[in-house]
Amino acid sequence: MGAGLCLLAALLLAAPADATEFYWNVATGQWEVAENWNPQLLPTAADDAFIDNGGTALIDGISADLAQLYVGSGTLEITNGGSVTANYVDIGQNANSTGTVTVDGTGSTLTVDFDLGEHSTAHSGQFGLVTNW
């Protein structure tokens, strides 16, 4: 019985953590500034990020990897070689949301599996690339 309890404890400790939900909380700002998020940390590849306050998140020459990205009523701008990779992106799917994602500049990329809502837009500028897997 002792070995069974040890095995159960090991399995519980090894279980993956749930994704943390991060919410954009400023009008306009740089993605990599922790104070622009609630909680005040940076989202990682295991996390979900939400831009739904009418604000604009700027990814300017940096990379962001996420589990899921939701752009409701807000904007994500990826420029100057910046990149976002996510397992799933939802742009403006909720009623009355008008999410916008703009990818512009040499080397700027958005690589995702995404849903584009009825009133939403995804723009690729002269040198940007949007890839939907």
* pTM for the whole structure: 0.79
- One digit per residue, the tens of pLDDT, for the chain of length 133 reads 455 544 444 444 444 568 899 999 999 999 999 999 999 999 999 999 999 999 999 999 999 999 999 999 999 999 999 999 999 888 887 778 888 999 998 999 998 876 666 666 676 665 555 655 4
- CA-CA distance, 105 to 88, in Å (whole number)? 23
| pLDDT for the residue numbered 30 | 98
| pLDDT for the residue numbered 91 | 87
N-to-C CA span, the chain: 48
3-state SS track over the chain: CHHHHHHHHHHHHHCCCCCCEEEECCCEEECCCHHHEECCCCCCCCCEEEECCCCEEEEECCEEEEEEEEECCCEEEEECCCEEEEEEEEECCCCCCCCEEEEECCCCEEEECEEECCCCEEEECCCCEEEEC
- CA-CA distance, 1 to 26, in Å (whole number)? 54
